[in-house]
Amino acid sequence: MAEGGDRAGQPGQTEIRFPGQLADQAREIMAGARPPVTPRDAATVMLLRAAGPPPGRLEVYMLRRQSSMAFAPGAQVFPGGAVDPRDADEEVAWAGPDTPAWGRIFDAPPELARALVCAAVRETFEESGVLLAGPDAGAVVADTTSDDWEADRTALLDRSLSLAELLGRLEASAVEGDAAACIRLGASFGEAVVLARGAFEAVAEALDAEVAAEG
């Protein structure tokens, strides 16, 4: 284990960089002084946009965790979070690779892969306002800034609404009666809908800032 710019660890062990507080907690776990936390299935999404010049320069949308949070307080993170059991609902459809294909990508059973994909879409909408879904396989929702969409986002946050139920409403509002609401990872999104609680940062500069923060 390595903290900040220091290198630590025993021969044959993998070295991992941790910021100070997490490094202290990791040492306590390795020493048997603190019980390890049971991992939970979770998903995250990187929202990227072009940021030239020069060509090829990218910016990534990031959030900063509140300092009061128990896990990784103050850390810069991508939108994401833990899987909700309802994320595995088989009624949710999507465009692109099927569940076995995502399972191979994630090295996970198809049913878990389904839940991870849906969690990624749900959490991204909850935390950034970007809904990677649309009324059919060829589109995503261009504008989620209305009061109705904000109410749906809040309902997802408090778990009074599931992703499948949200997509059901989207499908019901489609112009074509036979349209099937789909989620689409990897889709383009309208930058105007991204919530102001986060910010786009140049990828290289964000990495440099995180390394500097680690000391």
115-189-149-89 Cα dihedral, nearest 10 degrees:
-20
Using the structure block, give the residue that is written with the tokens 């990784």.
72
Cis? peptide before 97, omega within 30° of 0: no
* Sign of the C-alpha dihedral computed for residues 141, 145, 149 and 152 taken in this order: positive
Residue at 107 is within a domain: yes
Residue at 209 is within a domain: no
Give the C-alpha distances (Å, rounded to integers) separating 138 from 72, 84, 125, 132: 37, 26, 19, 11
pLDDT given at position 58: 83
Residue at 100 is within a domain: yes
pLDDT given at position 172: 64
**Domain residue limits at 186:** 42-202
**101 and 175 co-located in one domain:** yes
**166 and 64 co-located in one domain:** yes
pTM of the full predicted structure? Answer: 0.74
Structure-token pair, residue 180 = 């099937």
- What is the spatial distance between Cα 84 and Cα 118, in angstroms, rounded to a whole number? 9
Residue 107 backbone class (left: φ over 0; alpha: ψ -120 to 50; beta: rest): left
Residue at 28 is within a domain: yes
Query: Could you list the pLDDT tens digit for every one of the 215 residues in the chain?
Result: 444 444 444 555 667 677 667 788 888 888 999 898 888 999 998 888 887 777 778 888 888 777 777 666 777 788 899 999 999 988 888 888 888 999 999 999 999 999 999 999 999 999 888 888 887 777 788 788 889 989 999 999 999 999 999 888 777 655 444 445 666 666 566 554 565 557 777 777 766 666 666 55
**11 and 89 co-located in one domain:** no
pLDDT given at position 196: 53
pLDDT given at position 67: 73
Residue at 160 is within a domain: yes
Nearest to 57 by CA among 212, 201, 211: 201
**24 and 120 co-located in one domain:** no
**130 and 164 co-located in one domain:** yes
**85 and 54 co-located in one domain:** yes
Residue at 210 is within a domain: no
**73 and 114 co-located in one domain:** yes
Please check whether residue 72 is in contact with residue 26, taking contact to mean a CB–CB distance below 8 angstroms: no
- What is the spatial distance between Cα 57 and Cα 52, in angstroms, rounded to a whole number? 5
pLDDT given at position 112: 94
State the total domains in the chain: 2
